[in-house]
Chains A and B, each alone.
Chain A
């Protein structure tokens, strides 16, 4: 489906608005979700996914630097003439970071698709799409 047109203001308009003559809490009230329980479930699942990715990232970064400190032998083994620790730090780590981010996006999108599929079709006001 084609993305809905969104109403956004330019920075200039926002500055003009910020000058005054508007209620203090202009972004509120926030409309509540149609099904609060489902939204809570989705939130918790997404939080689990995020925690998992951040944990994996921490293991990769701290683990790799820890390995360099604990195993000096990594600097002595050479691959194509280059010390292994140098290769890991300057080359190999980047594809790993990329795959990690890709893995997170896949998981997060799958969670969102499942939430969409579970939601009964009629319950969804059109204006709520993609904010």
Chain B
């Protein structure tokens, strides 16, 4: 109940700030010029607030619990992406005067038809990014209020499209900045409380995964989905009717609806295909799903670091700075704020392995940050802490998804169909519907898998377009178009295949699941080679030089 209240108050406060911010903006002659007077620190907070999505607030802690410390490379990539942004695109993008990547493509290559191709890519990226946000909202809502998953997803879709229709959610920098503060404090306070008040024994276990993972108390595990898992030693579990079932060491599979109570001190079974909780693989800080840890880590790092600069809602934000110089400085501030935030997800993951290991079996690790406080701290204090995290997660979902949905709707109506303003509203509704429909069957897919997919597509399409467009005067229209096509097809296809279809084992599975290491070079090479064979117009050099003149 407290959680529902906390989520409600975050929602109401954002609406109030949004409405107030919009009114203040309308009093000046031009809304966009007004937003350019926002001070750099507020602006940095707003960017960080929009950037920290459900993937960071919920997904990272869950991944640390499930796959181990190596998944914190995702957080490093999210922050390192802004270093690449500062170095490669922030200043020139601001000087180009282009609001979106399609705008930039038109500025730099002078072809309105490239705009439609870019619009399609924006659509793919934004949908891939939006679905996990809705998934996060559905999971959190069903946890704190007991409603079915689909109700949460549907409600989330309604809330976000409604708040955009009401106007102002996106427009007010202060709403986004407010959400950063919410996310940071609501994740940090429970984390610090948990570290300080958990027993020294728990803390020591969290830092020594090699001692093994055991159920801390008799734990009922209800399999809502069918699962396969392995045990290292035999365990005797009880069913709700009181019967004792002896599970031998080795592989077991259970059907959906089975309920077992594991006794205190029993070793945690680990689902098939996952590293042993707390084992060598788990505690080595490298990403390792398919057996090639260094390759997987590097590929994921490439995808996230380079994907960041291609995210449409990230690019748009540079225009809230008055000059190119301020835009760069703001991006540096964002790195600082992200670094501060990323100190906390690890705490939930490490403590979650000790206190709530059953989440791994239930395929519900994305919920660890919400479940953990109530598990660890009994009574009212636990409920309050859970409410804080739930509200923070909801703030994450709200700010990111409204920004994403607006970018998606803008792409639909502006770049693809040359629509008018009423069509923009329609596009918001269509975008939300599609995202909700896609989020409904996505319950068991990890938030971060989907988010990294979006980053991979962005890194294989818009990253080469922007980097070559800004730093290489010989890029041509034909080169850009063919590179974009190759990038979007290979990146979307490879990850989609690895998630939806069975993959052959070994190298191929790894190459499909983490394709960035080959799709990004492929897209760059295509752009460069095709550009070599075509001629850039005479004004191309001026267009490039202008991006770098102070």
Residues of chain A having any CB pair with chain B under 8 Å:
3, 5-6, 8-12, 14-16, 18-20, 24-25, 27-33, 36, 39-40, 42-43, 46-47, 49-50, 53-54, 57, 60-62, 65-66, 68-69, 72, 75, 81-83, 85-86, 88-91, 93-95, 97-98, 100-102, 104-105, 108-109, 112, 115-116, 128, 130-131
Contact = CB atoms under 8 A, between A and B. Distances in A.
Contacts of A62: 298, 301
B109 to A, nearest CB: 10
Interface centre among A9, A31, A36, A75, by most chain B C-beta atoms within 10 angstroms, is A75
A105 B284 contact: no
Given A33-B545, A101-B83, 9 more contacts: A3-B322, A11-B414, A19-B420, A29-B539, A33-B542, A46-B548, A60-B80, A91-B343, A95-B339
Contacts, number: 189
A10 B339 contact: no
B87 A53 contact: yes
Interface in B520-547: 539, 542-546
A88 B335 CA distance: 17
Interface of chain A, main secondary structure: helix
A3 B325 CA distance: 12
Interface of B: 30-33, 36, 69, 72-73, 75-77, 79-80, 82-84, 86-88, 91, 95, 97, 99, 106-107, 110, 112, 204, 207, 283-286, 293-294, 297-298, 301, 305, 319, 322-325, 328-329, 331-332, 335-336, 338-340, 342-343, 346, 410, 413-414, 418-421, 424, 471, 539, 542-546, 548-550
Contacts of B106: 27
B32 A36 contact: no
B73 A65 contact: yes
B283 A94 contact: no
Contacts of B286: 65, 68-69
B83 A94 contact: no
Nearest to B324: A130
A116 B549 CA distance: 9
A36 B545 contact: yes
Q: Which 7 A-B pairs have the closest CB atoms?
A: A94-B339, A53-B87, A112-B550, A39-B545, A101-B332, A101-B86, A65-B297
Given A25-B110, A105-B86, A16 B420 contact: yes
Contacts of B343: 90-91, 94
Contacts of A49: 87
A8 B336 contact: no
Interface of chain B, main secondary structure: helix
B284 A68 contact: yes
B543 A30 contact: yes
A66 B298 CA distance: 9
A88 to B, nearest CB: 8
8 contacts: A15-B424, A27-B106, A28-B110, A30-B543, A33-B549, A60-B80, A65-B294, A101-B332
Given A39-B545, A54-B84, A90 B328 contact: no
Contacts of B86: 53, 101, 104-105
Contact of A50 (B75, B335, B340, B471): B471
A3 B323 contact: yes
B350 to A, nearest CB: 9
B440 to A, nearest CB: 31
